[in-house]
Amino acid sequence: MMRVALIGCGAIGTSMLELLKGDATLAVVAIVVPEVGLAAARKAVADLAPDVEIVTRVPLAGIDLVVEAAGHAAIEEHVLPALKRGTPCIVASVGALSAAGLAEQLERAASEGGTQVQLIAGAIGAIDALAAARAGGLDAVRYTGRKPPHAWTGTPAEQGRDLATLALETVIFEGSAREAASLYPKNANVAATVSLAGLGLDLTRVRLIADPAVTENVHVVEAEGAFGSFELTMRNKALAANPKTSALTVYSAVRAMRNRVAHMAI
């Protein structure tokens, strides 16, 4: 059985625990949260994982895999040290890698520890095709993210407009993936993932839209290159506990974990 330390106990973390409950090959043995969140975390997982250890640091022993689901600060505080110690890590907050130098820090830490950090595909598909196309040469990659107005609450999209009264689709951002992931970190993980698999954060073009006509999170990726071209459209249901996050993000993280212990993986 693979022993897992899960960083974060929010909507993504608790949903992962629900899916992993009773799994005979994976066991979340520690949940890492800030000290101020210890009591809330214990309450949140009381039924899902009553025996799990709630801690403020990744344990130094007894952990085979670290899974991050808590954002930029958690990557710096917990993932980098774990990699340097030689513990493999899975990162869900790919949008955090828009911060200057963070992706390079992860690579260096993994190299120093002789291990690997895996970035999950999250809410988007065709990442394997995009990464393969890069090997032959990519000419252009575009990502469009379309979500209901309420999914953009608490973001720069609220500046100069009332999201609650939008009657028509509204483009709230156009620019590079680096800018998108920086301005909309809880909404634009997909933009960062697409860019890291393809042309990079600065050359991947992104458009974000608030659309009162949709109830799902709609992701469109277009790419052209030596391989030809493709267009992928996904209509993802949001997590019930967090409209900013697609449920597929949780499923992607669980798949990555199960691939670590599967005898055959795809």
Does a structural domain hold residue 220? yes
Domain residue limits at 141: 127-244
Please count the structural domains in the chain: 2
Positions annotated as catalytic residues are: 219
Cβ atoms of 248 and 123 within 8 Å: the answer is yes
pTM of the model: 0.91
Does a structural domain hold residue 251? no
pLDDT computed for residue 242 by the predictor: 82
pLDDT computed for residue 185 by the predictor: 81
Strand order in the sheet with 2-7: 53-55, 26-32, 2-7, 65-68, 89-91, 117-119
Does a structural domain hold residue 260? no
Residue 189 shares a structural domain with residue 211: yes
Does a structural domain hold residue 254? no
Does a structural domain hold residue 256? no
Residue 108 shares a structural domain with residue 144: no
Residue 240 shares a structural domain with residue 138: yes
Taking the C-alpha atoms of residue 130 and residue 204, their distance in angstroms, rounded to an integer, is 12
- For the chain, 266 residues long, give each residue's pLDDT as a single digit of tens: 999 999 999 999 999 999 999 899 999 999 999 999 999 999 999 988 988 999 999 999 999 999 999 988 999 999 999 999 999 999 999 989 988 899 999 999 999 999 999 999 999 999 999 999 999 999 999 999 999 999 899 999 999 999 999 999 999 999 999 899 888 887 778 999 999 999 999 999 999 999 999 999 899 999 999 999 999 999 999 888 887 788 999 999 999 999 999 999 98
Taking the C-alpha atoms of residue 37 and residue 30, their distance in angstroms, rounded to an integer, is 14
Residue 53 shares a structural domain with residue 142: no
Mark 95-117 as b/e (b = at least 16 C-beta within 10 Å).
bbbbbeebbebbeebbeebebeb
